[in-house]
């Protein structure tokens, strides 16, 4: 018996049992509806992830072609249309798309006697088409009436409409479109008007809440990625107030703070999927900037060039406060994690706290002593950071083995390979003949790559034998 048939039988049996329980007075009518709806959501989610994938992809491709055709039609015939005809055409096309979406998503009687939307994939595609036409209408109406204003506001209005559609219709496709449009909006504000675009964070909070509430898995990935892209967008604006090295340190600490926060929340089983995704992306984000700090040529000292002593001192104190605040948050989360753990605490987690302490001291040393000791011996911090990177590899492997976590082990091998290659090229380049350099480097990479891949596969194979099939140790199928 296949999975769909078993779901059908289970759902019918559940309906019969709930009717009997309601007649006995064990459950009320509201509870019966909630239980059936929850079971139905699970069945529909399974169905969407399998049979509706291809139809959804094809429908979205059709929507893109329709959107391109509509834009081409308006562009070719725009000058020959009257204002009334233009407005009628714009609103009728958008209304038609939303009407088609409403019809496709209206409740019907699906096969296998499970109630649900008539054509869910087609409905999602028509919703997306309606949102795209809504944005097209905003731009064309602004052109008709020669509205000259802050042009990113048009994208903001588009994003707002997409969010409202998402909330009302519970559409993951539209939520993804809204997230990408919001990234376009914040990019315009940041690059065209040279400012840190804080209002985007409000959209981030709203879209995150929607993704968690609607259990939108793909949208969760997109939203989390846009957060880190937003930080990169504003990197140049932040460097107006501090050096590159200082901003890189702050980004490293932000990544660690988000990682620890997400891990703490996921332990509480609050939308496990979203926060597990956030913890992974945040950890990778932090690793990237820790890796950048391992290069000796980076300007690490947080002093403002071309500024007065008063401005420079004020900026240093501000960034010192930010550093200390983030470090206190990370340390507090780490101790909270210890408090929630079953005793005794594993040795690798205790060493993790020591690792954090050394990292914090090495980062703060660039603030406290940038005018004295470490200016003369600036490679001291770089050596410490490289040692931290290699010790992190060992810690991740131990953590991965203890928790049977593929992600930690695979990340450890990637860090080790990239860091080893980087140190080989920037340290030994000038220490040996060029031909010998390339020969030795090639042999090291070939045999090192073979050994690392062999060890990685052995560890992953051991995980597969010791955990349930389909689970990677962090709640993912």
Q: How confident is the model at residue 472 (pLDDT cuts 50, 70, 90)?
A: very low
pLDDT at 291: 92
Instruction: Give the pLDDT mean for 54-70.
Output: 75
Average of pLDDT values for 98-112?
A: 73
**Span 351-407, pLDDT tens digits:** 888 998 889 988 887 665 544 444 455 567 778 888 899 899 888 888 887 877 888
Question: pLDDT band at 125, cuts 50/70/90?
Answer: confident
Assess whether pLDDT exceeds 50 at residue 471: no
Q: How high is the pLDDT of residue 327?
A: 92
* Of 168, 65, 182, the residue nearest 125 (C-alpha): 65
Mean pLDDT across 228-239: 92
Per-residue pLDDT band at 459 (split at 50, 70, 90): low
Taking residue 303's Cβ as centre, other Cβ atoms within 10 Å add up to 17
pTM here is 0.77
Which pLDDT does position 47 carry in this prediction? 46
Supply the pLDDT for residue 326: 92
How far is 257 from 359, CA to CA, in rounded Å? Answer: 14
Quick check: 434 pLDDT over 60?
Answer: no
The pLDDT of residue 225: 97
CA distances from 339 to 272, 275, 312 (A): 20, 20, 40
The pLDDT of residue 452 is above 70: no
Count of CB atoms within 10 A of residue 56's CB? 19
Residues 340-350: tens digit of each pLDDT:
776 777 888 88
Mean pLDDT of the chain: 78
- Ranges 20-34, 108-122, 180-194, 215-229: which has the least confidence: 108-122
The answer, yes or no, to whether the previous bond of 10 is cis (omega within 30 of 0) is no
Whether the Cβ atoms of residue 452 and residue 444 lie closer than 8 Å to each other: no
pLDDT of residue 367: 61
* Bridge partners, residue 108, by sequence: 116
What is the arithmetic mean of pLDDT over 260-275?
81
Task: Considering only residues 415 and 245, tell me which one the structure prediction assigns the higher pLDDT.
Answer: 415
pLDDT of 108: 60
In the chain, the N- to C-terminal Cα span, in Å, equals: 22
Q: Which residues of 138-164 are buried (b: 16+ CB within 10 A; e: fewer)?
A: bbbebeeeeeeeeebebbbebbebbbe
What pLDDT, on the 0 to 100 scale, is given for residue 372? 44
In this prediction, residues 292-315 reach a mean pLDDT of 60
- DSSP for 70-128, please give it: HHHHHHHHSTTS-HHHHHHHHHHHHHHHHHHHHHHHSEEE-GGG-EEESSHHHHHHHHH
pLDDT at res. 23: 77
Does pLDDT of 311 surpass 60?
no
- At 161-170, the pLDDT tens digits run 999 999 998 8
Q: What is the mean pLDDT of residues 305-318?
A: 59
pLDDT value at residue 403: 79
Does residue 427 surpass a pLDDT of 90? no
pLDDT at 320 over 70: yes
Question: For residues 295 and 301, is the Cβ–Cβ distance under 8 A?
Answer: no
The more confidently predicted of residues 84 and 318 is 84
């Amino acid at each position: 018996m296949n999975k769909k048939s078993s779901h059908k039988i289970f759902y019918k049996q559940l309906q019969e049992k709930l009717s009997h329980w309601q007649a006995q007075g064990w459950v009320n009518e509201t509870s019966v509806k909630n239980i059936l709806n929850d079971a139905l959501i699970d069945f529909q989610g399974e169905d969407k992830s399998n049979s509706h994938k291809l139809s959804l992809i094809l429908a979205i491709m059709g929507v893109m072609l329709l959107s391109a055709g509509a834009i081409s039609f308006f562009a070719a015939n725009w000058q020959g249309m009257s204002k009334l005809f233009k407005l009628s055409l714009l609103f009728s096309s958008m209304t038609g798309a939303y009407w088609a979406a409403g019809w496709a998503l209206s409740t019907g009687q699906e096969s296998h006697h499970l109630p649900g939307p008539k054509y869910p994939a087609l409905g999602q595609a028509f919703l997306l088409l309606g949102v795209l036409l809504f944005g097209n209408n905003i731009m064309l109406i602004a052109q008709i009436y020669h509205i000259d204003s802050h042009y990113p506001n048009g994208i903001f209005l588009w994003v707002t409409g997409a969010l409202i559609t998402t909330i009302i219709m519970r559409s993951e496709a539209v939520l993804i479109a809204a997230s990408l449009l919001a990234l376009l909006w914040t990019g315009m504000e940041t690059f065209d008007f040279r400012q840190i675009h804080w209002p985007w964070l409000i959209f981030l909070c709203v879209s995150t809440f929607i993704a968690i509430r609607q259990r939108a898995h793909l949208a969760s990935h997109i939203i989390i990625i846009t957060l880190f892209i937003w930080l990169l967008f504003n990197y140049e604006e932040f460097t107006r107030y501090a050096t590159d090295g200082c901003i890189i340190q702050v980004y490293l600490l932000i990544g660690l703070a988000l990682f620890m926060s997400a891990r703490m929340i996921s332990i509480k089983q609050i939308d496990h999927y979203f926060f597990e995704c956030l913890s992974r992306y945040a950890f990778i984000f932090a690793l990237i900037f820790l890796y950048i700090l391992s290069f000796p040529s980076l300007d690490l000292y947080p002093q403002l060039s071309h500024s007065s002593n008063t401005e420079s001192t004020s900026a240093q104190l501000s960034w010192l406060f930010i550093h200390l605040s983030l470090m206190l948050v990370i340390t507090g989360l780490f101790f909270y994690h210890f408090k929630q753990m079953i005793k005794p605490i594993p040795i690798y987690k205790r060493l993790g706290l020591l690792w954090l302490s050394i990292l914090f001291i090495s980062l703060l040393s660039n603030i406290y002593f940038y005018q004295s000791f470490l200016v003369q011996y600036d490679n001291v911090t770089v050596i410490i950071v490289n040692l931290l990177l290699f010790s992190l590899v060992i810690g991740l492997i131990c953590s991965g083995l203890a928790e049977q976590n593929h992600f930690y082990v695979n990340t450890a091998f990637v860090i080790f390979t990239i860091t080893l290659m980087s140190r080989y090229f920037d340290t030994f380049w000038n220490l040996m003949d060029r031909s010998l350099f390339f020969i030795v480097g090639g042999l090291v990479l070939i045999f090192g790559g073979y050994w690392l891949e062999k060890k990685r596969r052995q560890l992953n194979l051991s995980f597969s034998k010791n955990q349930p099939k389909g689970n990677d140790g962090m709640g993912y199928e």
